[in-house]
Amino acid sequence: MDDVELAADLMERFADRTGVTSGRPQRRYLWTDAFAVCNFLALDRVDLAIVLVDRVHHVLGRHREDDARRGWISALSDVEGEAHPTIGGLRIGKQLPERPADEPMSERVEWERDGQYFHYLTKWMHALEQVAHATGDPNPAAWARELAQTARSRFVHAGRMYWKMSIDLSRPQVATMGNHDPLDGYVTELELGLPGDAYRMMIDPRSLATADPLGLGGLLVDAYRLGMLGRDTPLREAVIDAAHVGLQAYSEWPDHRLSAHYRLAFRELGLAIGLAAEPVADRVREEILAFWRDPRNRRVPSWREHEDINEVMLATALIPEGFLAQGRWTRPGSTFTGIGGTSSMR
């Protein structure tokens, strides 16, 4: 099975399992779904990308079933909410409800609680922008910009950023700032044709280096986008320098030499995606893909416990064209058509 066939098989199973193409209950998670939308575009399944966008908005743009609140989290009417499904942001999709305002935070439990993550919202903005280019429909692009404006107004405070907000964006759930959130916000706003100034002033190039593979992948993707946009060359060079420092530290970690039982696939695959954008360490990318392509390594509990995100991220690493928007960056205004004709999805 070649890369495209494997990616198509992974995405077909994901679509069935999570209710995109089946009558199964909706299992929506914003990060995973953002990458999945881009994968469907790469596989020339624009129809499924559109369906998934609609599913996400009607699940994660509305209050949880176990919440006393009802309707759109923006508090808009049903009619207005349909027209502006992202203007109130989008829930993460975590299993546990958000932490009440009067409850002390448990760092361990907070990871499993719902709310809104800034870096998930930016991934969804990017996915919507790709759908707009693929379909010629201006609505997804408008939704992306509305989401960007809402995120900036609620997550940015006094020259800093909140890492996690409540579902209704009324209060921070985790008030610390992720080192890469300003960079992510800046690059995403530039992609959407927005100024990005509120984020640019918060970026400290000296603090960007990380040995975390998922964070490293994000740095490389942001460097790639800056290059394709032809913007902020000094920052792009600083980001690449930070990635080189992180890759050196990552190469010294023992984790990626362990068996599959002790590894988190989606984090490593995030690095493989970044290395498809900026191929500064081809051998690392090849090793990651070879390891997770092996079906034996996808049978362990650590893979199955995160099956949705693992399968979608593996598919993205195998066919990164959709997520990286390869084929459209250098042709402004053109329609991105992915790698149509090669998909085995039905």
Q: Would you say residue 1 lies in a domain?
A: no
- Determine what percent of the chain falls in helix, strand and coil, rounding each to the nearest 5: 55, 5, 40
Angstrom distance (rounded) from CA 142 to CA 128: 9
Total domains, the chain: 1
Q: Would you say residue 323 lies in a domain?
A: yes
Q: Would you say residue 297 lies in a domain?
A: yes
Q: Which domain holds residue 311?
A: 204-328
Q: Percentage of the chain with pLDDT > 90?
A: 92
Question: Does 256 score more than 90 pLDDT?
Answer: no
Q: Percentage of the chain with pLDDT > 70?
A: 94
Q: Which residue in the block uniquely carries the two structure tokens 């034996």?
A: 296
Q: Would you say residue 237 lies in a domain?
A: yes
Question: Does 284 score more than 70 pLDDT?
Answer: yes
Q: What is the pLDDT of residue 115?
A: 98
> Mean pLDDT score of the chain, rounded to an integer?
93
Angstrom distance (rounded) from CA 181 to CA 222: 11
Q: Would you say residue 48 lies in a domain?
A: no
Angstrom distance (rounded) from CA 121 to CA 280: 27
- pTM value is 0.94
Q: What is the pLDDT of residue 255?
A: 77
Q: What is the mean pLDDT of residues 129-149?
A: 97
Write out pLDDT tens, residues 73-103: 999 999 999 999 999 999 999 999 999 999 9
More confident site: 327 or 15: 15
Q: What is the pLDDT of residue 3?
A: 97
- Angstrom CA distances, 301 to 51, 264, 306, stand at 30, 11, 9
Q: Would you say residue 81 lies in a domain?
A: no
Q: Would you say residue 253 lies in a domain?
A: yes
Question: Does 341 score more than 90 pLDDT?
Answer: no
Write out pLDDT tens, residues 197-224: 999 999 999 999 999 999 999 999 999 9
Q: Would you say residue 140 lies in a domain?
A: no
